[in-house]
A = this chain, B = another copy of it.
Amino acid sequence: MDNLYEFYNFLDLAGTFVFAISGAAAAKQRGLDLFGICAIAFTVACGGGIIRDICIGAIPPAGLTNWHYLVAAIIATAMTIGLYPFVQRLNHPVLLFDALGLSLFAVTGAQKSLAFGHNAEVAVLLGITTAVGGGVLRDILLNRIPVILEKEIYASAALLGALIVVLGNQLQWISRDWVSIIALIVAFGLRLLALHYHWNLPVYSSEKSEKD
């Protein structure tokens, strides 16, 4: 039980950290000031989780009440500012960090919703929300159409991860830890494959070029 709790904690903090780095990098590229970078980093890192906690009745949201999250966001901001040349040299670091955070948050979001006694649908929807909510808020704040609505398979990877968590918990063939690990690997793998092979969901309109 303690192990499980610590495992969730670790997943959550790791997800927070990588999302904060992706947020700080995007904010820095847009020329925001120090507070702006920190605010976007914190929003990407905790925004999805805060929405989830409000919806499942976990008041106050963990993102606000647990200083671990804030410190993780601040360290990520400092790293992104101080070690930017290093961060930049990594190949597509933002995309990689983003894919890892995405998968981690889909799994922890679904697990926490189930732990609060909500049904499978809530767990799946809030797993996705936890995973993509921060990124959607980032794109809204940076005044662009959320990238998850247009680009490669992204939220679909979170959906798959959350679905595996819900099914795994209902079937109970394996322990909850293993369910989380498998869901994490599958979602992360799908996202990486989609990035590499530019897998896209179908688009049904030919009007895009005219509209933009």
Contact = CB atoms under 8 A, between A and B. Distances in A.
Contacts of A200: 33
Contact of A150 (B33, B66, B140, B208): B33
A27 to B, nearest CB: 8
Interface of A: 27-37, 39-40, 50, 54-57, 59-61, 64-67, 70, 81, 84, 118-119, 121-122, 125-126, 136, 140-146, 148-151, 154-156, 159, 200-205, 207-208, 211-212
Shortest 9 CB-CB contacts between residues of A and residues of B: A31-B208, A36-B149, A33-B201, A57-B59, A34-B201, A31-B205, A143-B145, A32-B149, A64-B122
B150 A31 contact: yes
Contacts of A119: 65
Contacts of A122: 60, 64-65
Contacts of A81: 204
A132 to B, nearest CB: 9
Contacts of A28: 204-205
25 contacts: A28-B204, A28-B205, A29-B211, A31-B150, A31-B203, A31-B212, A33-B149, A33-B151, A33-B202, A35-B155, A36-B148, A36-B149, A36-B201, A50-B55, A55-B60, A57-B59, A60-B122, A64-B121, A64-B122, A64-B125, A65-B122, A81-B204, A84-B204, A141-B146, A142-B145
